[in-house]
Amino acid sequence: MKQFATITVIGRDKTGVIARVTNFLFEQKANIEALEEQVTRGQFSMTLQASWKSSELNSHSLRAGLENLARQLGMEIKVRLTEPDRRQKFAIMVTKEAHCFDALMAAKLKADAALVIGNHDDFAPRAKKFRLPFAHINWHDRAQAENRALQLIEEHEIDFIVLARFMKILSPNFVWRYKNKIINIHPSLLPSFPGPQAYRQAYEQGVKIVGVTAHFVSMRLDEGPIISQGAFHIRPGTSLKDIIARGQQIESAVLVKAVKLYLGKRLDVYWGVVKEV
């Protein structure tokens, strides 16, 4: 029986980081299962999955060694021991609209909602209805808010995050830590109409087909790898209010579909494009 760990490394880019980390893991008798790294504007980030034979993993030595390596490199290194067959836990981030949240609660997902984070406290009763812990985080200071959110996500051992119409932009500092693990729903057929007023833009442009897009969040606003989409035709005389109401129904279905695809391990991101495998 193997034991697994996910390790994240984040900090200013410098030579030899990958070699230092992987050499240490080799000394710990680890096998590297997967490794993703990138550098954006001088910021280095890496997510690494490692495995051990159950008798060869010394978790105390692993954690102590990575903490020492983090100090030497001047970087943030975090490790989380995982079990490949256990149910994943996810956080839901919300603002005011509840339709996507309700759809996630009604869906039979092979994962457990474990935390709700909202930038308005009036969502608390809805989370309480489903016996979920709710954290109200004021988002006026984004850096401070994101640090608090990341702290809570780590405390609850969250595996992935769903943005259920969360109307705030996440910084690269946040996204780096959960690459291809943050799923967002956007009210347009991306790449058309990015931004918060997508339905209004579609209505004003007179498009004949309106849709929604579920995608992984990336460093660029509304440009992450697309997971799934849905659309509907606009009939003559359809009002903006009707478009929004119909769009919200599609949003819920497409977001749930995207989460199910993610949980089914049927997605692979290759050069910024999602492939079903």
Q: Which residues are annotated as catalytic?
A: 222
Report the interhelical angle of 240-263 vs 99-106 (nearest 10°). 40
The closest of 76, 100, 60 to 21, measured between CA atoms, is 76
Backbone phi, psi, residue 29, to 5°: 65, 30
Backbone phi, psi, residue 74, to 5°: 65, 40
The closest of 74, 44, 80, 75 to 62, measured between CA atoms, is 80
Show Cβ contacts of residue 88 under 8 Å, excluding neighbours closer than 6 positions.
110, 111, 112, 159, 160, 263
Q: Could you give the C-alpha distances from 48 to 33, 67, 77, 148, 178, in angstroms and in order?
A: 8, 16, 11, 24, 12
H-run or E-run covering 53? strand 43-53
Amino acid, single-letter form, for residue 268:
D
Name the strands in the sheet holding 43-53, side by side, starting at the edge strand that comes first in the sequence. Answer: 31-40, 43-53, 2-12, 76-82
Distance CA 190, CA 194 (A): 7
Helices (H), 107-233: 124-129, 142-155, 172-175, 198-205
